[in-house]
Amino acid sequence: MTQDMATLDFDRIIQHLQSHAVSSQARELLAETAPMMNEGLCRARMEETTAALHVMTSAGAPPLAEMEGMEKNIAEAVQGSMLLPEQLSGVARFCVTVRRMRRYLQSAELFSAGIASWQTELPELQALETIIDACVREDVILDDASPALRALRRQRERAEGDIREKLNQVMLHHKQKLADSYITQRSGIYVLPVQKRYQSAFPGRAVDASAKGSTVFMEPAAVQTLRQTLETLLVDIDAEERRILWSLTDSVAGEEAALRAAMRVMTALDALFARAKLSAEMHARPVEITGDRRLKLVQARHPLLDAASCVPLDLEMTMPNAGIAVTGPNTGGKTVCLKTVGLLTLMAQSGLHIPCNDGTVIGMTDRVLCDIGDSQSISQNLSTFSGHMTNVIRILDACSRDSLVLLDELGSGTDPKEGSGLAAAILEELVRRGCFFLVTTHDPQIKQWAEQTQGVISARMAFDRESLQPLYRLEMGVSGESCAIEIARRLGMDEGLLERAKQVAEHGPAAAKENRQLRPMRAPVSRLVRMEAKKEGGFEKFTMGDSVQLLPEKKTAIVYQSADENGNVIVQLQGRKITVRHNRLRLLVPAAELYPPDYDFSIIFDTVANRKAAHTIARKHDENAVVVLREGKEDSKT
């Protein structure tokens, strides 16, 4: 899968194709689908797909096999490993599918001799199918696999019946010693549940015990001889079953060549009918494949777009007109036009039907090369323009006379004048080489170049100016306009900006400077929240009464004393005053938003007793009072 194929979504087509295959082998084969360079092989593959679709439509869906595990089963049989019953059943199911496919291909002869001829390559495997079906069903070996096995299994049934009969007799005689009245098995041995306290009195041997230990599962002595007889029969049965499996495995190994041939043919048929199913799903049809220099699409659709809403494409390229320059509005379908041409060419040359009408012709190409989409790459240090130019250089290095080149917005992403010059030089080189090419552009100089250059046809994507809607219809022989202002209006651009854009487009950037902002747009208010500028000292000072959050505990506190010169702040947290670093505090609500200007903060920070004492001192305070100290005593005089 090349870079150009992936750009044109050919890988998605392959994925759709693989989803129609039944077997993993066919899906692996379809993953290698690629355009063929041989015209004869390409035509044959297209005709084969057409025949398969006709047969499937007329005779119904073919019986295909999943073939899960078949390769492993054949390999193990050949290497000498014994195949298990379920593996042999898988081989038998495959043989059944081969037999049904042979019958289906016989009926297909009425509709396509080519498809019916596959029958001659499918080997006859009914004998192997019969042998396995007579001995095995899914994971079980049948009693009728051999007379000896049937006889041994009947003897086993009788031996087990004898054991159960004897156990029932023991249960009747020792009923009082049993924990319950039932027969069970432990380690393949028939036992009875005996109460722990009667273990020594019960005739037999202990085989197992219950989880609590209150019950002991014992084999009565009366059935030990019968059990030994049963064990001998089981050994004989196992030996006979293994002999049968080895015999069947040898039969599978003996048909190795036939089985592998059948798998190869069934894989090829699975892939063939997957192509037919994809055609039916896409409502596609076969097209004419030619080695001539010609490309004609009639009502062609992009296979990955909704068929109900997709506008069909009509396009024709034939020598000497090898190039088409497509112009028109943005969102008008120019890129889809390029991708449709490239993808349908890849599909048809891979033998796939394409969604189109009768009259479509696909000329063989040795390569489909394209530069579509944004080629910007941060990891590779490529800008949009350098990415495009890297792609174009690659295309020019690989492009031959028989190539198809698709270039989207050639020369964009750089200075318009230099971009136009580069685009013209590149297109002139493509014209000189004589390859088919399609290029999309908004550049008026490239439009003019296309109109004046022999061998290049101008085309445009139609646009309805009244409804301001693109019509997605390619019109050959005329150039189109980008209609950028109309499209911006349809998408909701501000009318004032559109009026200014029209003035600049018609008269240049200097036009109508006095009316540069004809209808000012309303700008939304910024949602950005900035941190307040730091106070002197290089950190937040905070103010008494500020509500803050203490980190990392995320507890709410109240600032009691602003930060000192060292950045230490005293806060009150749950009635206690603590000193913390300023960087552990985050301002929640400033004090100015919480309290009036003359608020008494002692209500928050002082106790009731302290506030009463302060109030009493303030009430009895006398500014003229004098305190006199005499012989260690205090006297107050006024």
Domain boundaries, the chain: 3-125+255-282, 147-227, 288-482, 547-619
Res 333: pLDDT: 82
Res 636: pLDDT: 46
Q: Where are the beta strands (DSSP E) in 477-630?
A: 547-550, 555-561, 568-573, 576-581, 585-589, 626-630
Res 534: pLDDT: 55
Q: What is the mean pLDDT of the chain?
A: 87
Distance CA 340, CA 193 (A): 79
Distance CA 519, CA 499 (A): 9
Res 73: pLDDT: 96
Of 598 and 352, which is predicted with more confidence?
Answer: 352
Distance CA 89, CA 142 (A): 12
Res 626: pLDDT: 63
Helix (H, G, I), strand (E, B) or coil at 88: helix
Res 541: pLDDT: 76
Distance CA 288, CA 298 (A): 12
- 114-23-137 Cα angle (round to 5): 105
**Partners of 570 in the beta sheet?**
561, 579
Distance CA 58, CA 407 (A): 43
Q: Give the highest mean pLDDT range of 89-93, 534-538, 606-610.
A: 89-93
Res 625: pLDDT: 61
Distance CA 531, CA 632 (A): 60
- Is it the case that residue 638 has pLDDT exceeding 50? no
Domains 3-125+255-282 and 547-619 share a fold: no
CB of 336 within 8 A of CB of 474? no
Distance CA 20, CA 5 (A): 21
- Is it the case that residue 135 has pLDDT exceeding 70? yes
Q: Does domain 3-125+255-282 have CATH number 1.10.1420.10?
A: yes
| Phi and psi torsions of 537, nearest 5° | 100, -10
**CB-based burial label for 397 (10 Å; 0-12, 13-18, 19+):** exposed
Share of the chain above pLDDT 90, in %: 58
pLDDT band at 379 (very low <50, low <70, confident <90, very high): very low
pLDDT band at 637 (very low <50, low <70, confident <90, very high): very low
Distance CA 275, CA 267 (A): 13
Res 602: pLDDT: 80
Res 380: pLDDT: 47
Res 484: pLDDT: 72
**Neighbouring C-beta atoms of residue 381, cutoff 10 Å:** 7
Quick: pLDDT tens for 298-348. Answer: 999 999 998 888 889 999 999 888 899 988 766 668 889 999 999 999 999
Return the minimum-mean-pLDDT range out of 64-73, 277-286, 379-388, 399-408: 379-388
Distance CA 296, CA 399 (A): 21
Q: Which of left, alpha, beta for 387 (phi over 0: left; psi -120 to 50: alpha)?
A: alpha
- Is it the case that residue 544 has pLDDT exceeding 50? yes
pLDDT band at 44 (very low <50, low <70, confident <90, very high): very high
Q: On the CB side of 545, how many CA atoms lie within 13 Å of its CA?
A: 14
- Is it the case that residue 518 has pLDDT exceeding 70? no
- Is it the case that residue 377 has pLDDT exceeding 70? no
Handedness of CA 131, 137, 139, 143 (dihedral sign): negative
Q: What is the mean pLDDT of residues 87-96?
A: 96
- Is it the case that residue 517 has pLDDT exceeding 70? no
pLDDT band at 35 (very low <50, low <70, confident <90, very high): very high
Q: What is the mean pLDDT of residues 275-294?
A: 95
**Neighbouring C-beta atoms of residue 192, cutoff 10 Å:** 27
Quick: pLDDT tens for 396-427. Answer: 999 999 999 999 988 777 777 888 889 889 99
Closest of 173, 184, 175, 176 to residue 209, by C-alpha: 184
Of 605 and 235, which is predicted with more confidence?
Answer: 235
Q: Give the highest mean pLDDT range of 226-230, 319-323, 496-500, 521-525.
A: 226-230
* CATH architecture entry for 288-482: 3-Layer(aba) Sandwich (3.40)
Q: Give the highest mean pLDDT range of 409-418, 424-433, 620-629.
A: 424-433
Of 389 and 538, which is predicted with more confidence?
Answer: 389
Measured in whole angstroms, the distance separating CA 312 from the mean position of its chain's CA atoms is 29
Q: On the CB side of 225, how many CA atoms lie within 13 Å of its CA?
A: 2
Supply the CATH classification number for the domain 547-619.
2.30.30
Q: Which of left, alpha, beta for 102 (phi over 0: left; psi -120 to 50: alpha)?
A: alpha
Closest of 442, 436, 478, 441 to residue 460, by C-alpha: 478
- Is it the case that residue 509 has pLDDT exceeding 70? no
**Neighbouring C-beta atoms of residue 402, cutoff 10 Å:** 17
Helix (H, G, I), strand (E, B) or coil at 473: strand
Of 595 and 484, which is predicted with more confidence?
Answer: 595
Hunting for tokens 């090369």 — which residue is that? 369
236: its two tokens = 């004989």
**CB-based burial label for 590 (10 Å; 0-12, 13-18, 19+):** middle
Q: What is the mean pLDDT of residues 97-110?
A: 95
pLDDT band at 378 (very low <50, low <70, confident <90, very high): very low
